[in-house]
Structure 1
Amino acid sequence: MINPQWLQTFTVLSEMKNFTRTAERLGITQAAVSQQMRLLEQQFGHLLARRGREMALTPAGVALLQYQREVENAENRLQMRLTEAEATCGDVGIVSPGSIGLRLYPLLLELQQQHAGLVLRHRFAPDPEVLEVVLSNKYELGLTSTKPDDPRLSASRFTEEPLELVIPADKTVDSWQDLMQLGFIDHPDGRAMATRLLSRCFPGNPGISSLPITGFSNQVSLLLEPVARGLGFTVLPHFARISFAKQPAIKVVETPVAVVDTLWLIHRQEWPLSSRAEKVVAYLRQALCGSVNTTEPT
């Protein structure tokens, strides 16, 4: 039987590719890392190939790492089987981008109020981080705006989210000149989103760079505050807009062409969702059903 502590050290070392950083991650000494590796190699042969500062797994090392993953997957499947009946008890973690997260988090709190045994964790993160934390088993569920091609992940359509042109409630926009007069409230994805939507709604326009910038925020929950105060317009996803508290102070411009993104629900491919996670997904799907009317993905 393999010592689980040695196996954990080897797994971290295969990721960090550095004895010092591995020791720091595990909270042990570098000497302890070296000793555990020597003991493993006595049992299984040469596991690491070193050339200068570079480090790579030998075929035996690859086989041992695969064994560790199979053990981890088996433990997760066992845990899910043991708790299958507990659909309203236990922990469920979900990670998502900011816009859809603003809509999901209140819904998750409502579900937790209905079932006190549930512990629902939500984290805001960009797409690359969503993939990372789901793959590392830190969160069971994730939402991304692009479908991942990683074979370790299962992906299914969750919902659609159109981009919206949002202006102050007392303004109108009929032309590019109207946008010029309002000014653009920018955000980290603002220029890309505005280009995608405005290039279709105002063909032949001189481009987003021609618009005056009248504000910026990297907090999606606060982005519409300057719009509500009449300081400019912005382009952002639907769920961010409907989560804003001061709806009477803003207005969505009806556009002749829809620009719609698909949001993908992801989880690890190797094992089924827990009954708790399935309940959360079903609840969220039902709550979001009908909230977006357009079906023209881009």
Structure 2
Amino acid sequence: MLNPQWLRTFTTLAEVRHFTRSADRLGLTQAAVSQHVRHLEAELGPLLIRRPRQLELTPAGEALLAYAQEVAAAEQRLRLQLSESDAEHGEISLISPGSIGLVLYPALLDIQQASPGLSVRHRFAPDREVVDAILGNRYELGLTSSKPDDPRLTARLFAEEPLELVVPAGYEAHAWADLVRLGFIDHPDGQAMAGRLLSRRFPGHPGIRSLPMRGFSNQVGLILEPVARGLGFTVLPRYARQAFARQEAISVIECGRPVVDKLWLIHRAEWPLSSRARQVAETLAARLQRLAP
């Protein structure tokens, strides 16, 4: 492993391109700076082309500079991750299903604006990928629609997400024939969600596959766009509907007793959450409670 002080010296020299000024910036003597460079060149070969009043990096020097910058960035990430007692500095990492993510991501940005020392990293993903990401320590917090039974994970109920029948604004859906006339806008979970919900509103219906399919989108933020344009209806979780910008262009049809999915907050069980993750989880849960009707 290369000496970290030598790397810092070389990085500064590559930026300043002057031995004396580099020494001043680092609080070292010029002889110490030269010695650090000689140690590196003894291991890696020529790193600098020395000309009067000019220093130029060799290809090996450019490669070492890129490596040193990666090491510095990795050290900074490590410091952020280990600063557990600081709720206002460090990284917030969350991976969640798309529907809830449409609501949570803007809320995360609100938190970051209030505490600029925080860095937000959020990813939309299905349940299996969420679990894998938490187990692989790529994210600190995750949300899943089913409670995992892996002993390496801690899971607690975070929110409930009712399904909703969404139609164009002003459209009445009193009978199955009304849905047939309108047609279905499908999405990756659309038929499964519609089957669960519509059996409450239209018991004995002939099945989702009997409906005309008017469109499909795998982007949760776009599923309601064709509905808003009068091209069909769909069934979505409430948070996806609430995140849609043009609420005046859509309507929700009452379907009786709600069909509700549970959302579970998960993280590794072997170590505690950082203070910033705990605070963010509480803030997000409160935001969702305010959205509930």
Report the TM-score, using the length of structure 1 for normalisation.
0.70
Q: Is it true that 1:287 corresponds to 2:287 in the alignment?
A: yes
Q: Once the 2 structures are TM-superposed, how far is the Cα of residue 84 of structure 1 from its aligned partner?
A: 3.4
CA distance in 2, matches of 1:111, 1:196: 35
Q: Once the 2 structures are TM-superposed, how far is the Cα of residue 81 of structure 1 from its aligned partner?
A: 10
| Amino acid in structure 2 at the alignment position of 1:239 | Y
Whether the aligned pair in 2 keeps the contact of 1:102 and 1:239 (CA below 8 Å) is yes
CA distance in 2, matches of 1:85, 1:267: 18
Q: Which residue is 1:197 aligned to?
A: 197
Q: Once the 2 structures are TM-superposed, how far is the Cα of residue 120 of structure 1 from its aligned partner?
A: 1.2
Q: Which residue is 2:259 aligned to?
A: 259
CA distance in 2, matches of 1:80, 1:150: 28
Considering only aligned residues, what root-mean-square deviation do their CA atoms show, in Å? 1.6
State the SS of the aligned residue for 2:156: strand
Change (3 A) 1:96 1:82: closer
Q: Once the 2 structures are TM-superposed, how far is the Cα of residue 291 of structure 1 from its aligned partner?
A: 2.0
Whether the aligned pair in 2 keeps the contact of 1:80 and 1:274 (CA below 8 Å) is no
Q: Which residue is 1:100 aligned to?
A: 100
Q: Is it true that 1:242 corresponds to 2:242 in the alignment?
A: yes
User: Superposition pairs for residues 18-97 of structure 1, below 5 Å?
Assistant: 83-97=83-97
Whether the aligned pair in 1 keeps the contact of 2:81 and 2:90 (CA below 8 Å) is no
* Identity across matched positions, percent: 63
Q: Which residue is 1:22 aligned to?
A: none
Whether the aligned pair in 2 keeps the contact of 1:187 and 1:217 (CA below 8 Å) is yes
Whether the aligned pair in 1 keeps the contact of 2:161 and 2:238 (CA below 8 Å) is yes
Q: Which residue is 1:215 aligned to?
A: 215
CA distance in 2, matches of 1:114, 1:139: 22
CA distance in 2, matches of 1:134, 1:79: 20
Q: Which residue is 1:170 aligned to?
A: 170
| Structure of higher CA gyration radius | 2
Whether the aligned pair in 2 keeps the contact of 1:172 and 1:178 (CA below 8 Å) is yes
| Amino acid in structure 1 at the alignment position of 2:246 | K
CA distance in 2, matches of 1:231, 1:170: 13
Q: Which residue is 1:140 aligned to?
A: 140
Number of corresponding residues: 216
Per-residue Cα deviation, 1:243-269 (whole angstroms, up to 9, x for no partner): 001100000001112100010000000
Q: Once the 2 structures are TM-superposed, how far is the Cα of residue 83 of structure 1 from its aligned partner?
A: 2.4
Q: Which residue is 2:183 aligned to?
A: 183
State the SS of the aligned residue for 2:291: coil
| Amino acid in structure 2 at the alignment position of 1:234 | T
Per-residue Cα deviation, 1:159-194 (whole angstroms, up to 9, x for no partner): 000000000002100010100110000111110000
| Amino acid in structure 1 at the alignment position of 2:271 | W
| Amino acid in structure 2 at the alignment position of 1:181 | R
Q: Is it true that 1:117 corresponds to 2:117 in the alignment?
A: yes
After TM superposition, the structure 1 stretch with the greater mean CA deviation from structure 2, 79-88 or 232-241, is 79-88
CA distance in 2, matches of 1:85, 1:210: 56
Q: Which residue is 1:275 aligned to?
A: 275
Q: Which residue is 1:129 aligned to?
A: 129
Per-residue Cα deviation, 1:210-255 (whole angstroms, up to 9, x for no partner): 1000111111100000000000100010010010011000000011
Extract unaligned runs of 5+ from structure 1: 1-77, 294-298
